Amino acid sequence: MTRKFKNKYRIESTRLQYWDYGWNAAYFVTICTCRRLFYFGDVRDGIMGLSTIGCLAWRFWYEIPHHFPFVILDAFIVMPNHVHGIIVINKPDGGMDENRYAAPTAVDRALPCLHTGDARNCQSIGHLRMRNPGKNTLSSIVGSYKSVVSTYAHKIDVNFAWQSRFHDRIIRDEKAYDNIANYIYDNPRRWDGDKFFGGCGAA
């Protein structure tokens, strides 16, 4: 797996006490469903199979840069009750110049293995609207993503809901970046031992 981190995204821990989440950086984001219910599908033999709502979660993730042009996406996975992804904020005039991240060069957009009948649902969604409230922070990006997924998921299951908050981590150096990317891609294979595995089960 080749990355071009180049230490341009390196962040010293002393800066974190006043960190602005609109600044340029690479962020590891985890967003869980409410009560960790399995809305997005299931893992079989180390392969994640998406439900129709899981397909929505996958598709709308890749819509993010259309609405937030300064965002670059890298490793991403939809799991039964959560999503993991790397979001890079790369504004041409934003953040601290001496710590601005370089854009990753490889984005894995391969369609995950889908259960029978789900592929057509995913492919027919097309380019759909996502609200950009104008704040251009990590929270506004994630909030917009959660909102649009919820809007369309409710047409399938009115009970669908996200957890109100999300988990984030600032990626400070190239080694951490690669470790996190590998963790994301390996998530289906390691699902039985994942800390999110013990959710409430099927929705």
Tell me the pLDDT tens digit for each residue of 114-146: 443 443 344 444 345 566 565 789 999 999 999
Question: For residue 5, is pLDDT > 90?
Answer: no
Q: What is the fold, at CATH topology level, of the domain defined by 21-189?
A: Alpha-Beta Plaits (3.30.70)
pLDDT for 16 equals 56
Sheet holding 167-171, edge to edge: 71-78, 82-89, 25-32, 167-171
Name the one residue in this structure whose structure tokens are 């894995």: 108
If one compares 161 and 200, the residue with the highest pLDDT of the two is: 161
d(CA 201, CA 203): 6
If one compares 101 and 54, the residue with the highest pLDDT of the two is: 54
39, 33 contact by CB (below 8 A): yes
If one compares 111 and 138, the residue with the highest pLDDT of the two is: 138
pLDDT for 108 equals 38
pTM here is: 0.77
Name the one residue in this structure whose structure tokens are 């704040």: 135
pLDDT for 31 equals 97
